[in-house]
């Protein structure tokens, strides 16, 4: 079974300029993802999809492949994942005549992710051939039945009682509510057929892969960057002490 990793890394980050190659604990941020992907026992190729020459240079230095330049029309701020992955697979099909069975989607913004996180998730999908994809999840930091919406000044439950099946769940202790999980963007794996044939990044059947919340950082803002750096330094210190 062919399994490739794709690391999307466009240029032009606005909240954190040059985010993908910004120094993070002594290495460019993207390096942490490339290195863990290359440690994987299951991934045979680690490919970066980017439109930025600086990112290309850094990614190659850390051992990733950059066989194509991502088109500008799918490199905008609000470009969703699907066209990026469709472009990747279609490029492989046309340029190399074959595509992988599974693509691991690894975001640069999850530097705490480990190679074992990656391999355990992929193995879960391999063992369950009827599923279209697998997605990392953690216990939801805020239970969805405790959320609201505003209609003018009127505060209403975001999920109505007739949908949840519970009477005023927002007034119940969290322990009395069904367990809720939040997807974390640092790992997912998708069958290539799900992307190309179903035009979806998940498909209809999604495996939930529960991961350690300590690994599930998502760097989106300067504060996120600082918090993730602090956590990584703590981890590196623990490894050094051992």
pLDDT tens string 89-104: 999 999 999 999 999 9
Closest CA to 201 of 68, 119, 102, 54: 102
Residues 151 and 205 in one domain: no
In Å, how far are 20, 21, 52 from 58, measured between CA atoms? 10, 7, 10
For 154-177, what is the mean pLDDT? 94
pLDDT tier, 44 (very low <50, low <70, confident <90, very high otherwise): very high
pTM: 0.92
Query: Within a 10 A sphere around the Cβ of 156, how many other Cβ atoms?
Result: 10
Tokens 């074959």 belong to residue: 98
Q: What is the mean pLDDT of the chain?
A: 95
Residues 118 and 31 in one domain: yes
The residue segments making up the domain with residue 229 are: 3-138+181-241
Evaluate if residue 238 carries a pLDDT over 70: no
For 19-45, what is the mean pLDDT? 98
Residues 119 and 152 in one domain: no
How would you class 195 by CB atoms within 10 Å of its CB: exposed for 0-12, middle for 13-18, buried for 19 or more?
Answer: buried
Residues 82 and 171 in one domain: no
Please report which helix (H) or strand (E) contains residue 3, including its range.
strand 3-8
Residues 14 and 53 in one domain: yes
């Amino acid at each position: 079974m062919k399994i490739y990793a794709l690391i999307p890394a466009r240029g032009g980050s606005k909240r954190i300029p040059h985010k993908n190659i910004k120094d993070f604990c002594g290495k460019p941020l993207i390096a942490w993802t490339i290195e863990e992907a290359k440690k994987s026992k299951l991934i045979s190729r680690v490919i970066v999809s980017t439109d930025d020459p600086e990112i290309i240079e850094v990614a190659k230095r850390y051992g990733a492949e950059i066989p194509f330049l991502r088109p500008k029309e799918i490199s905008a701020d609000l470009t969703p994942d699907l066209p990026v992955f469709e472009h990747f697979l279609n490029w492989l099909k046309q340029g190399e005549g074959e595509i992988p069975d599974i693509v691991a989607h690894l975001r640069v913004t999850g530097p705490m992710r480990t190679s074992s996180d990656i391999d355990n998730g992929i193995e879960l999908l391999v063992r369950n051939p009827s599923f279209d994809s697998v997605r990392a999840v953690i216990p939801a930091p805020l239970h969805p039945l405790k959320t609201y919406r505003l209609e003018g000044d009127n505060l209403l439950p975001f999920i109505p009682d007739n949908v949840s099946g519970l009477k005023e769940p927002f007034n119940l202790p969290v322990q009395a509510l069904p367990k809720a999980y939040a997807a974390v963007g640092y790992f997912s794996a998708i069958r290539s057929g799900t992307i190309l044939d179903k035009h979806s990044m998940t498909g209809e059947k999604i495996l939930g892969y529960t991961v350690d919340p300590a690994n599930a950082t998502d760097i989106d803002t300067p504060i996120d960057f600082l918090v993730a750096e602090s956590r990584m330094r703590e981890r590196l210190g623990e490894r050094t002490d051992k």
